[in-house]
Amino acid sequence: MFSASVLAVSRRPWVRRLVTGAPAARRVVDRFVAGDTLHAALATTADLTAAGLLVTLDHLGEDTTDAARAAAIRDAYVAALDGLAAHGLADRAEVSVKLSALGAALPGTLALDNAAAICAAADRAGTTVTVDMEDHTTVDTTLETVAKLRAEHPWVGAVVQAALRRTEADCADLAREGSRVRLVKGAYAEPASVAFTAKAEVDASYERCLRVLMAGPGHPMVATHDPHLIALAEGSGRDPGTFEFQMLYGIRVPEQHRLAAAGHRMRVYVPYGADWYGYFARRLAERPANLGFLVRALLTR
């Protein structure tokens, strides 16, 4: 209920203007976003990988309704991949893309074509791409797009959300040889008809989905900050090289370093770009403490 309320308020135009126009808010944004530019993102990537962590870069942007904007986002990803290769980082960093940023709301195959161009750039760079999942209305088309991309690039990663009631079945379908699957709890406000709404239900669903993925021959990407779920994955008996942990940039940093030091693959989800508001609003909605940081920053500007 807290998350849904915060997300609802964040969509009001005056709230967006207040947050994006307040210099004080930038101090809070910088906790979760690596910067507005590719240069900043590559510098952050270099620092994280030097510390033994892996990275997935997310060029922020979503809900694109203009073909030119979708093309610009595609080109930004290609530039990011070229930058990773040029800086010798491509073996430790990949990219994550949202189909809504690439034109999924527009007619035809624009989003698929743009995603395919990004995958081709990743191939040239020697790294991979993961296709982010968005709200429940996009699940089928997103998984269909992943399947089409995998025909040429079998390493393309899929994302599933434990909050959705369908996800355990999706995990069973995706847990195949070579299949990279990121399991998240889910950061979208969804109706009870398609999603679990109580935290305990979401946690239980995540645990069931995790067991399915860890029992399969694929490559689970365990995206969680939850100590219980981390311990469950650590105690699964799987070789550490056959799965990975993923956490958000700026969240539980000491735990990220602990997992890496213990020999686990630990990947940090690093968002960057000027269009940070939608991502930032979801981070605020996830934890009351995050919202508290913002309020204090605005009151003390």
- Which amino acids are annotated catalytic? 132, 182
Q: Please say whether the beta carbons of 214 and 238 come within 8 A.
A: yes
Centroid of chain to Cα 161: 11
CB-neighbour burial class of residue 171 (10 A; exposed 0-12, middle 13-18, buried 19+): buried
**Distance, CA of 118 to CA of 113 (rounded, Å):** 9
Other CB atoms closer than 10 Å to residue 10's CB: what's the count? 18
The position carrying tokens 């009870």 is: 192
**Distance, CA of 301 to CA of 298 (rounded, Å):** 5
Helices (H), 101-235: 110-125, 139-150, 167-174, 199-215, 227-234
Q: CB within 8 A of 2, min separation 6: which ones?
A: 285, 288
DSSP letter for each residue of 102-141:
GTTTSSTTHHHHHHHHHHHHHHHHT--EEE---SGGGHHH
CA-wise closest residue to 280 among 265, 266, 264, 297: 297
CA-wise closest residue to 272 among 84, 109, 134, 1: 84
Bridge partners, 161 (sequence order): 184
